[in-house]
Amino acid sequence: MIGQASLSLDQAPPISVPFRFFLTAPLFIFCAGLLLLIYGQDALVSRWSPVTLALTHLITLGFLASVMCGAVMQILPVLAGSAVPASLWVSRAVHLLLTAGVILLVSAFLFSLSPWMGLAMLSLGSAFSIFVVAVAIALWRVKITNETVIGISVAIAALSITVVLGLILAGSFIWPIGYGYIHTLTDSHMGWGVLGWIGLLVMGVAYQVVPMFQMTPEYPVWMVKYLTRSLFAACLLWGLLTITHSFSLISPLWADCWLLLMALGYLSFAVMTLSVQKRRRRRLPDVTLKFWRIGMFSQIAAFVLWLWGPFWAEVIGEQARLLLLGGCLIIGFALSVINGMLYKILPFLSWFHLQHRSIALLGFGCVKIPNMKEFLPDRLAKQQYIFHLLVLTLFVMAVLLPEFFSRPLGLAVCLSSLLLEYNLIQAVVRYQKINSEISTKSNAKDEMSIAEMSRMRGMNGTSA
């Protein structure tokens, strides 16, 4: 027999693994919108304001980390053929600890509660430790290493560094350390989080999912082969230069020059993504593609805001420039790309699980599995995309004129997240409907088999 071993339905993570992360993630964005509605312009005064820190972590940990944790646990078996061990228990523990940790952290920021910060550290530290160990085991077991596996591996390493830096910073909330160190640590924490964890993961996954779902040509081989790992190595060196500078051993120019090289690497990825998307083979309207485009243009905008920093600081003020820079990276790039990917990942996983279960229980073709667009119609995704555009526009206006646009931005964020949640629930409901149909048909098939066996036994008895 020359057939290979494959991932059985029992080994593949249950659909509840990603669903639990995907369905809670938009609720954190909704909370971020509520904060903007309550605090208004106070939420956008400076990157150091407690409300801004709470807002940032609702997006980065509550939404981005949640979706990424759920997606990585499901994507590994699909793209690399290796499942996370005890995926159901790991996902339950990570989801519970991450959700509790985000709530505790945000409360600690808003109400200056030191004991809550301690609990948040414990909760988030445990959540990410479990996640990193479980994913590392799955990565270790991968038989054929491809660039996506490398992308996920370096992103997980970057996540670990981000979490350690975050825990040190959270610790400084309880045991204060000097402002100079806080500043360096915060920049490193944000750098590792955005450029390392989010940037490298998006890059690694993009090499597979952009051509796979958006019908584009493949990324060039040099980029796929070298960019992700080079950028990770560059991140390590940048970290080292930053630490050396914080002890006043070298000029800050070294770290800045090195960051420029890294920024050019990320810029080349953004430009290449826009280029392959322009050359896509099927020119059908696709909402995910639009979300990705916004993400890539935001990355370019962030580069412009960073490179010509003094110019922009003079035009709009330094605090506004820093808020815009962070917004371009976290909201414009990361949130847009992840939001767009949800519209592909969730229907694809629904299709895969239903098709798999239907084949295992009934055989191919016994139940009609809806196509991806039937799980999540374009019409619904487009409506949310318009609200997302509104969020981005209002964000820029709110940074420039916080007293007028902070609360309208909060309202737009609430509406966009509610619409996303509604769309995801629609897909899950559709999944459950077809899943019940498979169960009903499978039960009927079993009953028929039992009845047939009983009839045969009866016939045997008569003839004897």
Partner 1 sequence: MEFRLDVCGLPAPEPMELILGAVQGLKEGDYLKAIHNREPFPLYSMLNDDGFFYHTIVGGKAGFLIFIWRSDDAKAELAVEARIEQESQ
Tell me how far, at minimum, the Cβ of 340 lies from partner 1, in Å: 15
The token duo for 203 is 């890059």
Phi-psi domain of 81 (left: phi exceeds 0; alpha: psi -120 through 50; beta: other): left
Radius of gyration for the chain, computed over Cα atoms and rounded to the nearest angstrom: 24
Q: Which is nearer to partner 1, 113 or 215 (CB)?
A: 215
Q: Which is nearer to partner 1, 66 or 74 (CB)?
A: 74
Q: Which is nearer to partner 1, 1 or 464 (CB)?
A: 1
Tell me how far, at minimum, the Cβ of 35 lies from partner 1, in Å: 37
Q: Which is nearer to partner 1, 218 or 446 (CB)?
A: 218
Tell me how far, at minimum, the Cβ of 2 lies from partner 1, in Å: 5
**What CA–CA distance (Å, rounded) separates 347 from 63?**
19
Residues that bind partner 1 (CB under 8 A): 1-4, 6-9, 12, 77-81, 144, 208, 211-215, 218, 281-282, 348, 351-352, 355-356, 359-360, 363-365, 372
Instruction: Give the rounded distance of the alpha carbon of 119 from its chain centre.
Output: 24
Q: Which is nearer to partner 1, 79 or 413 (CB)?
A: 79
Tell me how far, at minimum, the Cβ of 132 lies from partner 1, in Å: 23
Q: Which is nearer to partner 1, 33 or 347 (CB)?
A: 347
**What CA–CA distance (Å, rounded) separates 248 from 206?**
39
**What CA–CA distance (Å, rounded) separates 59 from 166?**
15
Tell me how far, at minimum, the Cβ of 359 lies from partner 1, in Å: 5
Q: Specify the DSSP class assigned to residue 142.
A: -
Tell me how far, at minimum, the Cβ of 211 lies from partner 1, in Å: 8
Q: How many residues does the chain have?
A: 464
Task: Using DSSP, state whether 181 is helix, strand or coil.
Answer: helix
Q: Which is nearer to partner 1, 142 or 313 (CB)?
A: 142
Check: CB of residue 330 under 8 Å from CB of residue 60. yes
Q: Which is nearer to partner 1, 123 or 208 (CB)?
A: 208
Check: CB of residue 31 under 8 Å from CB of residue 429. no
The token duo for 101 is 């940790």
Q: Which is nearer to partner 1, 212 or 240 (CB)?
A: 212
Tell me how far, at minimum, the Cβ of 152 lies from partner 1, in Å: 14
Tell me how far, at minimum, the Cβ of 76 lies from partner 1, in Å: 10
Q: Which is nearer to partner 1, 106 or 149 (CB)?
A: 149
The token duo for 159 is 């996540």
Tell me how far, at minimum, the Cβ of 267 lies from partner 1, in Å: 27
Q: Which is nearer to partner 1, 7 or 96 (CB)?
A: 7
Tell me how far, at minimum, the Cβ of 435 lies from partner 1, in Å: 16
**What CA–CA distance (Å, rounded) separates 412 from 354?**
35
Check: CB of residue 70 under 8 Å from CB of residue 15. no
Check: CB of residue 280 under 8 Å from CB of residue 214. yes
- How many CB atoms within 10 Å of residue 237? 14
120: CB partners within 8 A, 6+ apart: 101, 102, 104, 105, 108, 170
The token duo for 169 is 């910073």
**What CA–CA distance (Å, rounded) separates 274 from 296?**
7
Q: Which amino acid is at 190?
A: M
Q: DSSP labels for 112-132? A: T-HHHHHHHHHHHHHHHHHHH
Greatest alpha-carbon pair distance for the chain in Å reads: 101
Tell me how far, at minimum, the Cβ of 298 lies from partner 1, in Å: 25
Residue with tokens 């959540």: 127
